[in-house]
Amino acid sequence: MIHVSFSRRALAIGLLALPLSLSAALAQDVKPTIGPPGLAFAPKTGADLYVTVCQGCHMPGGKGAVGAGMYPALNNNKNLEAGAYPVHVIVNGLRGMPPFRAMLNDDQVAAVVNYVRTNFGNSYSDAVTGDDVKLARSAN
Amino acid sequence: MGSETQHESGMSRRDLLAMVGMAAGSAAMYQAMTSLGLAGESTYRGSPNLSGAPKGTSVLILGAGLAGLTAAYELRKAGYKVSILEYNERPGGRNWSIRGGDKITELGGETQTCGFAKGHYFNPGPWRIPYNHHAVIDYCRQLSVALEPFACLNHNAYFHSTNAFGGKPQRIREIDADLRGHVSDLLSKSAQQDKLDESISKEDKEVLLAALKNWGGLDNENRYTKSAAAASLRGYDRYPGGGLAGPSAPSEPMKLQDLLKSGLWRNLNNFFQFEHQNTMLQPVGGMDMIGKGFAKQLNGLIRYNAKVTEIKQDERGVTVTYVDQKAKGTPKQVKADWCVCTIPASILSQIPTTVSPKMKAAIDAVPYVTSVKVGLQFKRRFWEEDEMIYGGISSTNLPINTISYPSDNFGSKGPGVLLGAYQIVQANSFALASMSAPERIAFALENGSKIHPQYKKEFDNGVAVSWHRMPFTLGCGGMWNPSTRKEHYSNICQIDGRMVLAGEHVSYVNWWQEGAILSALDAITRLHERIVKTKA
């Protein structure tokens, strides 16, 4: 038992460590995407979406920031455990954070949520889907 | 696609507000939004009459932006004991100008030091005052803040689209004249062919033809052609000279199809909207002269560098906890009988505050809009020297949206500072907000050089401000839509126990300084009535 759990932990750390450092390095190189005028965001991948839509507030690497008010850190964030929560926040907004329901389509919301939940020290591998986003849209 | 794309650029405030409605909810809000809050004159009726203030009553004001400063100024005049807590180390809040030597630190820690030459500045927030914003203008008068014209419509500035006229910028006067000319030509034709006979009498028809000829710059046959009449509006190929230099030569109007397809006409009405009509004004020396003017009157009453961390109240009074951002150390407390809170909702929503559930829900219902502005200093004023552009605004479908030329120091030999990018609300404003400041400046230079090729050679230095990264606001303004207005607006205006809120977010004049002042005046007038009643 002990042996197994050890190796599983070692495996988990080993597996996570590589993609994490890789994706951190990649995220540094990803630049915000300038799209056509209008409300709709152009990017499709989670990394491009994060850097274009979220980074202005939540900062590179999801570090968050504090001034008179704050932007919560998204790195190592336990609130991301239930995928439905970030989906809901992005679609409907949360206090200072504007709703993105008219600016991101279902696939984009799912992609950025899946990206944030598997990067920045988060490792929630149960992916959310466009259907989860539809549900959040109808909730409000 | 080309014209659809163009439709999204050069957007007016009204268009943007409509977009906010859409961003925040369904497309059905579009119609409702366009009819919200934008019409009519300011409700300003002069300084409020706050007579009979009970002796010794104290009011604590949170925030030294224009709302807080107005509240403090009027309440102190009325005899209240006022004090202000302000997060920044300067007064004004979003009423702010950046000058050489200023340091700007955004959330995330990136710090820029402005390198502008002496006498030059950049307004990252409000930058122009409509003549119909009576409250702002009257306080400028009271505070002896000198005003000068802000050139908004400049007929010689540009409309530009990458999809039209081979990407060559067009002078605004040409777009304006040619749209009028072609429309007048078509309408004249219909009238002359008796096609309007059902809608217009014979006598009126003659007058209409005369009006169209006059307004459209038509020739003697009521046609829009390369003519002296058209040139008198759209300009000349050769302007008449002195001596032997010769007479004028008219210019050739663009073709109607080209004009329509270009979509550039969509930019025109922005300048004719109520809030953008001539004469717009600006304080001499920078918008922040207003905040500074108030602060001078309130000498010693403003505690700067104070980050509010808790707002508590009971039947007897208000206790506010704050942390001194310079000294840090243990939190301090201020007590007062009453409180006017002008902290932006984006930030107030995060501060533990004793308020009713309805008020809390209202505070939580106002997210904040993005805005990014870039100020660029060039070594010489090439827009004046090479292109005869003195102040005013060029509009483009490039993702910088706007270039605005300084309205002061015309003809001076040294450098000049212009607004090199202004993105707000739209997707690209988030993209710009996500860039580092040097990236935003490079972006403004790269794009702007497609309109002014002199950019790269003449660039000196720049600053970029992302409002979502401003530690004191987390955004440029409160974002209401028709359904949040309906559900929460009246609640956010109520006096909640011993506290009342004020600021542009507690107004229908969102994102304007006028909204902040009108909101403060309305709030303190009602608060004063309540105080007098409570004491009686």
Chain A contact set for B370 (CB, 8 A): 56
Q: Is residue B268 part of a domain?
A: no
Q: Is residue B140 part of a domain?
A: yes
Domain final residue, candidates B469, B498, B523: B469
Residues B77 and B180 in one domain: no
Nearest-neighbour CA in chain A from B364: distance (Å):
5
Mean pLDDT, chain A, as a whole number? Answer: 85
Q: Pairing state of beta strands B103-105 and B170-171?
A: unpaired
Q: How far apart are the first and last CA of chain A?
A: 47
Q: Is residue B26 part of a domain?
A: no
pLDDT tens digit sequence for B15-42: 666 666 665 544 333 333 333 444 446 7
Number of domains in chain B: 3
Closest by Cα among B405, B419, B418, B416 to B373: B419
Residues B343 and B483 in one domain: yes
Joined tokens for residue B274: 């109520």
The confidence score (pLDDT) of residue B6 equals 34
Residue A54: give the domain boundaries. Answer: 2-138
Best of A28, A29, A39 to substitute, by most chain B Cβ atoms within 10 angstroms, is A39
Q: Is residue B141 part of a domain?
A: yes
Domain final residue, candidates B423, B448, B469: B469
Of A32, A35, A65, the CB nearest to B434: A32
Q: Report d(CA B305, CA B290) in Å as an integer.
A: 20
Nearest-neighbour CA in chain A from B35: distance (Å):
20
- Whether residues B434 and A52 touch (CB distance < 8 A) is answered with yes
In which band, very low, low, confident or very high, does the pLDDT at A139 lie, cut at 50, 70 and 90?
confident
Q: Is residue B202 part of a domain?
A: yes
Q: Is residue B35 part of a domain?
A: no
Residue B253: give the domain boundaries. Answer: 170-262
Of A32, A38, A55, the CB nearest to B8: A38
Nearest-neighbour CA in chain A from B433: distance (Å):
5
Point out the residues of chain B with pLDDT beneath 70: 1-41
Task: Provide the chain A residues 84-123 that lie in CB contact (below 8 A) with chain B.
Answer: 93, 95-103
A-to-B residue pairs, Cβ atoms closer than 8 angstroms? 131
The confidence score (pLDDT) of residue B16 equals 62
Q: Is residue B104 part of a domain?
A: yes
Residues B256 and B295 in one domain: no
The confidence score (pLDDT) of residue B340 equals 98
**Residues 6+ positions from B434 with CB-CB distance below 8 Å:** A32, A51, A52, A53, A54, A55, A56
Strand blocks (E) in B209-274: 236-238, 249-250
A33 DSSP assignment: P
Residues B253 and B300 in one domain: no
Taking CA–CA distances from B107, the nearest residue in chain A reads A65
Q: Report d(CA B198, CA B204) in Å as an integer.
A: 12
Q: Is residue B514 part of a domain?
A: yes
Report DSSP letters for B50-89, one per residue. Answer: ---PPTT-EEEEE--BHHHHHHHHHHHHTT-EEEEE-SSS
**Residues 6+ positions from B128 with CB-CB distance below 8 Å:** B150, B152, B276, B280, B281, B282
Chain A contact set for B308 (CB, 8 A): 68
Strand blocks (E) in B191-276: 236-238, 249-250
Chain B contact set for A69 (CB, 8 A): 344, 346-347, 350-351, 471, 474
The vertex-A130 CA angle with A128 and A133, nearest 5°, equals: 80
Residues B390 and B282 in one domain: yes
Residues B456 and B502 in one domain: no
Taking CA–CA distances from B347, the nearest residue in chain A reads A69
Residues B75 and B106 in one domain: no
Neighbour tally for B135: CB within 10 Å = 26
pLDDT tens digit sequence for A58-88: 999 999 999 999 999 999 999 999 999 999 9
Nearest-neighbour CA in chain B from A54: distance (Å):
7
Residues B139 and B196 in one domain: no
Q: How far apart are the first and last CA of chain B?
A: 67
Is residue A24 pLDDT above 60, yes or no?
no
Nearest-neighbour CA in chain A from B512: distance (Å):
19
| Upper half-sphere CA count for residue B219 (Cβ side, 13 Å) | 10
Number of domains in chain A: 1
Residues B295 and B250 in one domain: no
Peptide bond into B279 cis (omega under 30): yes
Closest by Cα among B21, B2, B5, B3 to B13: B21
Whichever domain contains A98, its CATH number is 1.10.760.10
Residues B357 and B314 in one domain: yes
CB of A19 less than 8 A from some CB of B: no
A32 DSSP assignment: P
Whichever domain contains B187, its CATH number is 1.20.1440.240
Q: Do B57 and B34 form a contact (C-beta atoms < 8 A)? A: no
Closest by Cα among B455, B390, B387 to B421: B455
- Whether residues B434 and A67 touch (CB distance < 8 A) is answered with no
Please give the average per-residue pLDDT across A93-122, as a whole number.
Answer: 97
Residues B282 and B385 in one domain: yes
Report DSSP letters for B342-378, one per residue. Answer: ---HHHHTTS-B---HHHHHHHTT--B--EEEEEEEE
